[in-house]
Amino acid sequence: MNYKITLIPGDGTGPEIAESTRRVLDATGVKIDWEIAEAGCDVLEKYGTPLPEDVLKSIRRNKVAIKGPITTPIGSGFRSVNVALRKELDLYTCLRPCKTYKGVKSKYENIDLVIVRENTEDLYAGVEFEAGSEESKKIIELSKNKIRIDSAISIKPISKFASERIVRFAFEYAIKHKRKKVTAITKANIMKFTDGLFFTVAREVAKKYSGIEYEERLIDNMCMQLVQKPELYDVLVLPNLYGDIISDLCAGLIGGLGIAPGANIGNDIALFEPVHGSAPKYKGMNKVNPTAMILSGVLMLEYLGEKAAAKKLERVVSEVISEKKVVTYDLGGTAKTSEMADEIIKKLGD
């Protein structure tokens, strides 16, 4: 049976890496019927929105999608398409494995961390009030004037429901992937109610998984720990904003954004995408590294249960990187995006 999968090329350098990823995934032998869905800045004029309803319909129908990055214009009327997709489809887990591959220039070796980031609430909830608005005035009143009168305000909701399901996901992932430890990370010493709730819930969930070690860290300390002794950590579970920042920090530990894959997972829908953005300055140059999106494809094959194909593709990608002959600029080579994909395809056939 062929899988029907939604492919969103995205914008900026997205279409270039998406095309390479599609060709590579086809070369694994897994039979996929691609349904192309256009979203992002490049289609704004055509559809009047960067996220046409048909894109959501396609993902809801097919249940599995892979996407290239999409630009978030700063200060425009549109919120992030990426955030909208995660919220609309309730893709509550953002899963980002961070692994060092031989041949990638990095100050670290043998990093093997998994970031489990809550994807639907926290400061990403989009509940913001402009400075001087009636709403912000009311909140300032409620705060008993602890907030300055000319403030803009963002609300940080953390719910028991969302915290519980993300921590449970982290433990279930740890069991399934034979991991030993889950570390929950917040700033609960300062945000006692919101981040405090996240820790309280995490502790309760942890009690049900006695085979997996559980510990807590504060986000500031965690940044230092990850830079100094990343080998102490295994699966990390975090609210949305801390998860976003730690993801980039960990991408830095493994040698850059060009090789960091990701997945957004809900109860019955999953959307795979690289951690990096649309790198617009390289648009149309066939220059950026397709690996992060190809490795997101590896996560997608695993999710589909195509374990042998996933394993083989990851091995081949790792081989191409370590040989350093046909790799993109960020990995020390001169190959084009499509040439690196061709090399992976050639080796898949060997």
Q: If binding is defined by CB under 6 A, does position 335 make contact with ligand NAD?
A: no
Q: For residue 155, which of 139, 132, 167, 138 has the smallest C-alpha distance?
A: 139
Long-range contacts of 323-327 (CB under 8 A, 24+ apart): 323/103, 324/103, 327/103, 327/289
Binding characters for ligand NAD, 267-286, by CB under 6 A (x = yes): ------x--xxxxxx-----
Q: Considering only 211-219, 223-231, 287-295, 318-326, which stretch makes contact with ligand NAD by CB under 6 A?
A: 287-295
Q: Name the active-site residue from 92, 101, 124, 173.
A: 124
Catalytic residue among 187, 287, 336, 347: 187
> Is residue 288 part of the contact set for ligand NAD (CB under 6 A)?
yes
CB nearer to ligand NAD: give 82 or 318: 82
Counting Cα atoms < 13 Å in the Cβ hemisphere of 210 gives 0
Query: Does the annotation count 124 as an active-site position?
Result: yes
- Measured from the CB of residue 243, what is the shortest distance to ligand NAD in angstroms? 13
* Cα 200 to Cα 188: distance, rounded to the nearest angstrom: 10
Give yes or no for residue 257 binding ligand NAD (CB under 6 A): yes
Using CB positions, name the residue nearest to ligand NAD: 277
Q: Give catalytic status of residue 180 as yes or no.
A: no
* Distance of alpha carbon 288 from alpha carbon 336, whole angstroms: 7
Q: How far apart are CA 10 and CA 150, in angstroms?
A: 38
Q: What SS3 string covers 259-311?
A: HCEEEEECCCCEEEEECCCCCHHHCCCCCCCCHHHHHHHHHHHHHHCCHHHHH
User: Does 70 sit near ligand NAD (CB under 6 A)?
Assistant: yes
Q: Which is nearer to ligand NAD, 17 or 205 (CB)?
A: 17
Q: Is 336 in the site for ligand NAD (CB under 6 A)?
A: no
Is residue 244 annotated as a catalytic residue, yes or no? Answer: yes
Task: Report the distance separating Cα 300 and Cα 141, nearest Å.
Answer: 48
Q: Does 91 bind ligand NAD (CB under 6 A)?
A: no
Q: By rule CB under 6 A, what count of residues binds ligand NAD?
A: 18
Q: Do strands 235-238 and 3-8 pair parallel, antiparallel, or not at all (unpaired)?
A: unpaired
Instruction: Report, as residue numbers or ranges, the catalytic residues.
Output: 124, 187, 220, 244
Which residue ranges make up the site for ligand NAD (CB under 6 A)? 69-72, 82, 257-258, 273, 276-281, 288-289, 292, 330
